Amino acid sequence: METIRVALLGAGTVGLAFAGLLPQHRSRWAALDVQLELVKVLVRDEHKPRPGLPSRLLTTQTQGFLQDVDVLVEVAGGTGLAGDMVIEALEAGIPVVTANKALLAERWAELREYAEGGELYYEASVMAGTPVLGALGSLWGNQTRELHGIVNGTCSYILRRMEEGSSYEAAFREAGELGYLEADPNLDVGGIDAAHKLTVLARLTVDPGLSWEEVRARTRGIAHLTPQRLHEARVEGRAVRLVASLYPEKGQWVAAVRPVQLPLSHPLVTLGSGRNALVYRGDPIGELVFAGAGAGGGVTASAVLSDLYKVLLGIPGNLPIPQALPAPTVEIEPLEEV
C-alpha cells in the first residue's frame, strides 16, 4: 500500500477541521490502495494548544518544510508566506490543494500555468463546501450571459441585522464577537473577500487572464449603508445585498462587487439568507441556481478533502477556461446599485 505524505500549512479553524476529518476516511484510502499520512504542519506558534493535533507534527520552520512531501494542503490564507510556499511546492512538482481565494486572485500570474496544468486544486476557495467551481467548469458548452452571487456571509449577516434595526456599528461589533470577521475586517465589509472570489469565478467561466486590479477597481463595500436605507428598500419590496456580478457591458465583460437592491423574490434573497448563493445564466442552459453553506471550518475542510481525493485519483484540479470568451452583444439590465 502506497503512503501519501501530506503537509498542512495552517492550523486554524479549517486546518484543525481538515486534520480531524482525515482519520474518518482511512477505509476509503485503503480502498484506493493508499495510506494517507499527515507528516507536518506549519504554524505561527507551535506552543498554542490545538486539540486533536499531535504537537510533534507542528513546526514554525519553513526551511525544508516541503522535503519528503507528496501533497501540500494550504489553508493559512494571505498572499505572503502562504503564497511563497505554494509556489515553491508547485515548482518542485508537488500538487497543491488550497482554500486561499486572495492568493488565487492576487498572484495569478505566478499560479496560472500550474492551474492550467491541473496541479492546483482550489474548490474550497469559493463558497467553501458548495461545489460551484466544479459545476461552472462543466458549463463550458454554454455561452455565459451573466453570473451573480452572494459569496460573503459576514456582509449578509450585518445587512440582515441592520434590516432588523441595528446600527451598522452594532451589527459590525456582533459579527466580530461571533467570529465572522476576517483579521482585517475590511476584507469583508469592504467587499474585498467577495471580489477575490468573483475573480476566481470569472477566470473559470469567461476570461483566464482577468486581472485582479480590474475587479478591485469596481468593488464597493457596505459601510455607507444605514438602517433607514435598508428599511426604505423593504417598504418598496426589495432587499439590499452585497452582490458579486459578472456581466457584459459595451462589448466587454465587467466584474463588479457592490450593494444592490433585489426583489424579495429573487433567488439571491430567498436562498442567500444565511447561506451563500449563486445565479448563473447561460445559453442554451438557461438559469441555474446554487446555494449552500459558504463558510465554516468543517464545511471548508470537506471541500479541501474532496480535492485531495482528486489528487489521489489523478483527476486535474479546477481548470480555467482555455481562452477569453467574447462578451454577448445583447447587454443585460444592470442591477440597481445602492
Residue pair 154/335 in contact by the 8 Å Cβ criterion = no
Residue 24, domain CATH: 3.40.50.720
Q: Which of 48, 197, 250, 310 is catalytic?
A: 197
The answer to whether position 214 is within a domain reads yes
CA distance 288 to 280: 5
**Residue 269 pLDDT:** 94
Q: Which pLDDT score, from 0 to 100, does residue 98 have? A: 98
Output 268-271 pairs: Cβ under 8 A, ≥24 positions apart.
268/148, 268/149, 268/150, 268/241, 268/243, 269/239, 269/241
Query: Does some domain include residue 42?
Result: yes
Where is mean pLDDT largest: 47-56, 235-244, 264-273? 235-244
295-307, pLDDT tens digit by residue?
A: 888 999 999 999 9
pLDDT tens digit sequence for 38-83: 999 999 999 998 988 999 999 999 999 999 999 999 999 999 999 9
Q: What is the pLDDT of residues 3-44, one digit of tens each?
A: 999 999 999 999 999 999 999 999 999 999 999 999 999 999
89 and 206 together in one domain: no
Identify whether residues 140 and 124 lie together within a single domain: no
pLDDT at 287 over 80: yes
Assess whether 197 carries a catalytic annotation: yes
Spatial distance between the Cα atoms of 18 and 4, rounded to a whole number of angstroms: 16
pLDDT band at 180 (very low <50, low <70, confident <90, very high): confident
Domain span at 42: 2-131+296-313
- What's 159's domain CATH number? 3.30.360.10
Contact predicate 259/335, CB 8 Å? no
Residue 121 lies in a domain: yes
Residue 34 in domain = yes
Tell me the average pLDDT across 305-325: 96
Using the predicted structure, report yes or no on whether residue 245 has a pLDDT greater than 80: yes
Longest Cα separation, the chain = 64
Domain check: are 179 and 122 in the same one?
A: no
Angle between helical axes of 108-116 and 81-91 (0-180°, round to 10): 40
Same domain, 330 and 211: yes
Shared domain for 72 and 118, answered yes or no, is yes
**Percentage of the residues of the chain whose pLDDT score is greater than 70:** 100
- What is the total count of domains within the chain? 2
106-144 tens-digit pLDDT: 999 999 999 999 999 999 999 998 999 999 999 999 999
Binding annotation for L-homoserine: 182
Residue 331 has pLDDT above 80, yes or no: no
Position 238 in a domain: yes
Asked, for residue 160, whether it belongs to a domain, the answer is yes
pLDDT score of 147 more than 90: yes
Instruction: Please check whether residues 171 and 254 belong to one and the same domain.
Output: yes
Cell of 85: 510556499
- Regarding whether 107 and 90 lie in a shared domain, the answer is yes
Residues at the binding site for NADPH are: 101
Residues 188 and 269 in one domain: yes
In a domain, 319, yes or no: no
Residues tagged in the binding site annotation for NADP(+) = 10-15
115 and 154 fall within a common domain: no
Note the pLDDT of residue 271. 87
Binding-site residues sit at 10-15, 101, 182
Does 321 have pLDDT greater than 90? yes
How many other CB atoms are there within 10 angstroms of residue 134's CB atom? 14
Residue 320 lies in a domain: no
**Whole-number Å distance between alpha carbons of 201 and 208:** 10
Residues 180 and 235 in one domain: yes
d(CA 53, CA 58): 8
**Alpha carbons 232 and 288: distance in angstroms, whole number:** 30
- Mean model confidence pLDDT for the chain: 94
303 and 262 assigned to the same domain: no
Q: Which candidate, 243, 225, 221, 227, places its Cα nearest to that of 164?
A: 227
pLDDT of residue 333: 86
Q: What is the pLDDT of residues 156-167, one digit of tens each?
A: 999 999 999 999
State yes or no: pLDDT of 275 exceeds 90: no
pLDDT at 296: 83
Q: Do residues 183 and 304 share a domain?
A: no
* Predicted TM-score (pTM) of this structure: 0.95
